[in-house]
């Protein structure tokens, strides 16, 4: 066995909380809301403690926009949401958690605030609308006051302003605005549910002139993509970016959260979307300093083999890089060709077309939803060139062309360039690689402009001698990186991944569907690297943002183990539905439909039609091929949903999918339990998303935020703890989850300690994925999982295959059986379950 690495200042020590600060061992994610308040969470503490987690991981708790179902649309950083029970309820939750030895982790949102309806719910924004650049809160929001004639664009109208005025839909009124200091009536403008302040001294003007004199411009909602002059969250105009790079803004927006850290209410933080910040490096450094080095994880997508920037003061990410690799480790590479052929036959996409699909999707986003952002970048670059004689001949159009191609070619969420600081080699390489791809798509006469643009974006000297810095140059560097993240998120995750149907379970947040499968050796190498680089970052299989729950993806992964059977099933499904499968149903959506049914069909039958309708509607609109959120094609959508509804009610379809369910059951069981046990014991802090301790066949939000019956889960766990054997897959998954979490809780140093380690186990077959977790080089816990169980079944099972276990005496905590170390046959170890969790004993 290899020795576990000792932490050093340049290794894992940098990725740990400060001395004396708590480190979670495992977390349980709760999605709070009106139907799951902080007091409701407190009532769950006994169950969560019994389950074995060490920390309750809360979705955002600050006051959010009216009717918020998720909490990421914050309107007040100084108040715990009254809908959730307020500060008193949070204190009660903390007391309940402390009494059972649990801590709290909180998800916070530094990047943006809500633009609510009415606007007065966000007092800071209301002030900016009322007073413009003179507002005390003007520095909070990332507004370009030089654009839009110095007025903040408010694209809320359902029609063009002339038509709205002609119908008398905007009116002047007086009201008491909640939260204003004087508390008296004030003049306001109303547009249906929208309410806006009236600039002082303008209320007596004719309405058209009054509107023209405000610090904001009421506009048709379609104007936003072309003329929006405030930075937003991706393309969501109702989420306005906040400038936390300003120290005063940081202090004002983090005061309560930091108070909760310092008084012991919170043990750590999860940071939402740091890539959207102007200076994530500086933000995380300030947060580390002011939190006293608390455990802080970031929601960060690392593209491909990209690694976390070494100068980010964080323990690591929330785990998307572990999610897709683990999912792909339990995917059979032998299935790629046949599933690709099915996709080509049904959807028309060839298996090698993913890069083209991504490029086209990103280009559509850059030219459409994010045009305002690209226009702003072009204005900055053109202004720099206009003011420098040596750069003056690089035209606005040339710069726009180069920016568009660079954004389309850039393959990650950020380049991590900080104005005035040395650029990391990886960032330079990423920028140059993207520029090379972009250059190949441009006319040769644009190449010189591309060279200038790359120099500007890397903070290099460009133009006159010595010119490297300046307000506009720095802003260009920062805004380009902020736009890269938006293009990746909207172009890849929220467009291309809804179009690509090779195996849809691989099209996950942060996923790499182009890789299809990952070998056990690759997974082991990644895990060993994670143990060294981010030993207390998070691992996960499901989050509130994943496009499918882990159990849905596990079922979809089995398609790769039965590719010929799946191809035949698709043909039979098409034959069965031919009589009502309208020509309006396009091939991509059809292929998505069949896989969605396979991923969500259970012994109880299909998911509810309402859930399927909601998911397919979102999937079609995100794909943006025939319909979209901004321009729904009702005839197309109705036709697709009609086919889906008739299919799930068709007894012929039911018979086919029930047959598939029976044929795939061995693979589903092994993948469901194997991915879960591996995730819970890999290097990092293991997260369990609410309800996924048993199979949860969920789809994208809001489907994955439906209420969880924790009472039933608690009763199920009590029965298992009383000695009852597992009766079904739900029992088995709960057994695996609870025992793994309890082992983590009881042996924390093996998993998150300074001398924790990871060692792969040698086996005579690739169908076993196993590893040991070590402490100071000594193996203490062993994970054994079955990969690709259907292929194993075809080969006659484990037969004479063996695994080399570390020497010593062990007990399988899933079956309560003793096991001896050394080279052991696999079959007796996995005869009851397709997984085993061995813990060293004293005997």
Q: Residue 530: inside a domain, yes or no?
A: no
pLDDT band with cut points at 50, 70 and 90 for residue 8: very low
Q: Which residues face 242 on adjacent strands?
A: 141
pLDDT band with cut points at 50, 70 and 90 for residue 149: confident
Note the pLDDT of residue 182.
75
Which residues does 450 contact at the CB level (< 8 Å), separation at least 6?
402, 405, 406, 435, 438, 439, 442
Is residue 10 scored above 60 in pLDDT? no
Distance of CA 156 to the CA centre of its chain: 28
Query: Using CB atoms within 10 A of its CB, is residue 2 exposed (0-12), middle (13-18) or buried (19+)?
Result: exposed
User: Are residues 237 and 261 both part of a single domain?
Assistant: no
More confident residue, 810 or 234: 810
Is residue 843 scored above 80 in pLDDT? no
Which residues span the domain enclosing 231?
Answer: 119-241
- The C-alpha atoms of residue 396 and residue 392 are separated, in whole angstroms, by 10
The DSSP 8-state label assigned to residue 113 in this structure reads: E
User: Are residues 675 and 806 both part of a single domain?
Assistant: yes
Note the pLDDT of residue 237.
85
- The C-alpha atoms of residue 526 and residue 15 are separated, in whole angstroms, by 17
Q: What is the pLDDT of residues 28-61, one digit of tens each?
A: 999 999 999 999 999 999 999 999 999 999 999 9
Q: What is the pLDDT of residues 336-359, one digit of tens each?
A: 999 999 999 999 999 999 999 999
Q: What is the pLDDT of residues 657-716, one digit of tens each?
A: 999 999 999 999 999 999 999 999 999 999 999 999 999 999 999 999 999 999 999 999
Q: Residue 627: inside a domain, yes or no?
A: no
Is omega for the bond preceding 702 within 30 degrees of 0, making it cis?
yes
User: Are residues 806 and 669 both part of a single domain?
Assistant: yes
User: Are residues 105 and 254 both part of a single domain?
Assistant: yes
**First-to-last C-alpha distance (Å) of the chain:** 21
- The C-alpha atoms of residue 821 and residue 638 are separated, in whole angstroms, by 60
The mean pLDDT value of the chain amounts to: 95
What's the Cα-to-Cα distance from 95 to each of 42, 183, 266, 687, 818, rounded to whole Å? 9, 37, 11, 22, 39
Please identify, among 318, 334, 349, the residue that sits at the C-terminal boundary of a domain.
318
User: Are residues 715 and 671 both part of a single domain?
Assistant: yes
User: Are residues 145 and 250 both part of a single domain?
Assistant: no
Helix axes 471-487, 447-457, angle to 10 degrees: 100
Q: Residue 496: inside a domain, yes or no?
A: no
Percent of the chain residues past pLDDT 70, beyond the cut? 98
Q: Residue 811: inside a domain, yes or no?
A: yes
User: Are residues 264 and 237 both part of a single domain?
Assistant: no
Kindly tell me the sign of the dihedral angle through the C-alpha atoms of 702, 704, 705, 711: positive
Number of structural domains found in the chain: 4
Is residue 717 scored above 80 in pLDDT? yes
Alpha helices in 107-221 (DSSP H): 123-131, 161-166, 207-212
Please identify, among 287, 302, 318, the residue that sits at the C-terminal boundary of a domain.
318
Note the pLDDT of residue 466.
80
User: Are residues 123 and 201 both part of a single domain?
Assistant: yes
| 778-786, strands of its sheet edge to edge | 756-760, 768-775, 778-786, 835-840, 802-812, 817-825
> Per-residue DSSP letters for 311-372?
T--SSEESSHHHHHHHHHHTS-GGGHHHHHHHHHHHH---TT-HHHHHHHHHHHHHHTTTHH
- The C-alpha atoms of residue 144 and residue 149 are separated, in whole angstroms, by 10
Average pLDDT over residues 114-126: 96
3-state class (DSSP) for residue 748: helix
CATH code at 139?
3.30.1590.10
Exposure of 311 in the CB half-sphere (CA atoms within 13 A):
15
Note the pLDDT of residue 727.
97
Give the torsion through C-alpha atoms of 168, 173, 175, 180, to 10 deg.
100
pLDDT band with cut points at 50, 70 and 90 for residue 377: very high
Is residue 3 scored above 50 in pLDDT? no
User: Are residues 85 and 165 both part of a single domain?
Assistant: no
Q: Residue 73: inside a domain, yes or no?
A: yes
Q: Residue 547: inside a domain, yes or no?
A: no
User: Are residues 269 and 390 both part of a single domain?
Assistant: no
Contact between 666 and 833 (Cβ < 8 Å): no
Note the pLDDT of residue 365.
96
Please identify, among 481, 509, 544, the residue that sits at the C-terminal boundary of a domain.
481
Average pLDDT over residues 166-191: 91
CATH code at 84?
3.20.20.80
pLDDT band with cut points at 50, 70 and 90 for residue 388: very high
Q: Residue 345: inside a domain, yes or no?
A: no
Structure tokens, 556:
């979809």
Note the pLDDT of residue 525.
97
Count CB neighbours of 330 within 10 A: 29
User: Are residues 103 and 250 both part of a single domain?
Assistant: yes
Q: Residue 259: inside a domain, yes or no?
A: yes
The DSSP 8-state label assigned to residue 20 in this structure reads: T
User: Are residues 722 and 825 both part of a single domain?
Assistant: yes
Note the pLDDT of residue 690.
98
- The C-alpha atoms of residue 212 and residue 199 are separated, in whole angstroms, by 11
- The C-alpha atoms of residue 418 and residue 133 are separated, in whole angstroms, by 27
What's the Cα-to-Cα distance from 415 to each of 284, 449, 461, 664, rounded to whole Å? 16, 20, 18, 43
The DSSP 8-state label assigned to residue 799 in this structure reads: T
Average pLDDT over residues 83-104: 98
Contact between 450 and 401 (Cβ < 8 Å): no
Contact between 266 and 292 (Cβ < 8 Å): no
């Amino acid at each position: 066995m290899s020795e576990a690495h000792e932490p050093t200042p340049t290794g894992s020590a940098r990725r740990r909380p400060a001395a004396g600060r708590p480190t979670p061992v495992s977390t349980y994610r709760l999605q709070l809301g009106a139907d799951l308040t902080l007091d409701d969470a407190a009532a769950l503490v006994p169950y969560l403690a019994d389950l074995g987690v060490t920390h309750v991981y809360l979705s955002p708790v600050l006051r959010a926009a009216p009717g918020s179902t998720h909490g990421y649309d914050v309107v007040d950083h100084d108040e715990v949401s009254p809908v959730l029970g307020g500060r008193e309820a949070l204190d009660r939750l903390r007391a309940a958690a402390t009494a059972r030895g649990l801590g709290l982790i909180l998800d916070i949102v530094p990047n943006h605030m809500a633009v609510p309806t009415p606007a007065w719910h966000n007092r800071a924004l209301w002030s900016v609308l009322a007073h413009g650049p003179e507002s005390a809160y003007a520095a909070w929001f990332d507004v370009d006051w030089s654009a839009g004639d110095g007025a903040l664009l408010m694209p809320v109208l359902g029609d063009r302003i002339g038509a709205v005025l002609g119908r008398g839909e905007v009116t002047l009124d007086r009201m008491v605005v909640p939260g204003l200091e004087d508390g008296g009536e004030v003049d306001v403008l109303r547009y249906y549910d929208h309410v806006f302040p009236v600039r002082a001294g303008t209320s007596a003007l004719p309405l058209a002139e009054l509107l023209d004199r405000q610090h904001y411009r009421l506009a048709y909602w379609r104007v936003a993509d072309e003329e929006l002059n405030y930075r937003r969250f991706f393309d969501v105009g109702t989420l306005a970016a906040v400038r936390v790079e300003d120290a005063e803004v940081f202090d004002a927006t983090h005061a309560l959260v930091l108070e909760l850290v310092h008084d012991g209410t919170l043990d750590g933080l999860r940071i939402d979307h740091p890539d959207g910040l102007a200076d994530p490096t500086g933000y995380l450094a300030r947060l580390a300093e002011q939190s006293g080095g608390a455990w802080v994880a970031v929601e960060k997508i690392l593209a491909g083999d990209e690694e976390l920037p070494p100068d980010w003061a964080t323990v690591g990410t929330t785990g998307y890089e572990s999610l897709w690799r683990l999912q792909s480790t339990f995917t059979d590479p032998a299935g790629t060709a046949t599933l690709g052929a099915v996709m080509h036959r049904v959807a028309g996409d060839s298996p090698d077309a993913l890069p083209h699909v991504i490029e086209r999707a990103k280009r559509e986003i850059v030219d459409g939803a994010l045009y305002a952002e690209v226009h702003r970048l072009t204005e900055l670059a053109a202004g720099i060139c206009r003011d420098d004689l040596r750069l003056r001949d690089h035209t606005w159009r040339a710069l726009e062309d180069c920016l568009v191609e660079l954004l389309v070619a850039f393959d990650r969420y950020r380049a991590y360039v900080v104005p005035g600081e040395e650029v990391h080699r990886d960032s330079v390489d990423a920028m140059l690689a993207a520029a090379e791809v972009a250059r190949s798509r441009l006319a040769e006469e644009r190449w010189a402009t591309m060279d200038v643009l790359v120099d500007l974006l890397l903070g290099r000297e460009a133009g006159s001698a010595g010119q490297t810095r300046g307000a506009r140059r720095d802003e260009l560097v920062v805004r380009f990186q902020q736009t890269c993240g938006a293009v990746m998120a909207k172009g890849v995750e929220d467009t291309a991944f809804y179009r690509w149907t090779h195996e849809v379970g691989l099209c996950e947040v942060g996923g790499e569907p182009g890789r299809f499968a990952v070998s056990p050796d690759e997974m082991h190498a990644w895990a060993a690297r994670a143990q060294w680089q981010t030993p207390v970052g998070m691992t996960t299989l499901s989050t509130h943002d994943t496009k499918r729950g882990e159990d849905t993806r596990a079922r979809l992964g089995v398609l790769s183990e039965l590719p010929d059977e799946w191809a035949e099933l698709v043909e039979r499904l098409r034959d069965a539905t031919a009589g009502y499968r309208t020509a309006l149903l396009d091939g991509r959506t059809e292929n998505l439909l069949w896989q969605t049914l396979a991923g969500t069909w259970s012994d109880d039958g299909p998911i509810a039609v309402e859930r399927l309708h909601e998911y397919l509607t979102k999937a079609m609109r995100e794909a943006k091929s025939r319909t979209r959120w901004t321009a729904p094609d009702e005839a197309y959508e109705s036709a697709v949903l009609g086919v889906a509804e008739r299919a799930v009610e068709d007894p012929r379809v039911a018979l086919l999918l029930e047959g598939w369910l029976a044929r795939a059951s061995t693979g589903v069981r092994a993948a469901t339990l194997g991915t879960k046990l591996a995730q819970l014991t890999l290097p990092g802090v293991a997260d369990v998303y609410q309800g996924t301790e048993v199979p949860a066949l969920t789809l994208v939000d809001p489907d994955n935020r439906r209420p969880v019956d924790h009472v039933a889960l608690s009763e199920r766990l009590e029965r298992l703890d009383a000695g009852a054997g597992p009766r079904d897959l739900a029992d088995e998954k709960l057994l695996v989850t609870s025992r793994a979490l309890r082992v983590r809780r009881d042996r924390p140093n093996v998993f998150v300690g300074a001398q924790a380690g990871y060692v792969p186990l040698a086996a005579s077959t690739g169908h076993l994925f196993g590893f040991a977790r070590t402490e100071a080089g000594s193996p203490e816990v062993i994970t054994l999982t079955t990969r690709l169980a259907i292929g194993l079944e075809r080969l006659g099972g484990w037969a004479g295959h063996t695994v080399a276990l570390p020497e010593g005496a062990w007990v399988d905590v899933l079956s309560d059986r003793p096991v001896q170390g050394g080279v052991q046959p696999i079959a007796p170890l996995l005869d009851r379950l397709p997984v085993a969790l061995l813990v060293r004993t004293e005997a």
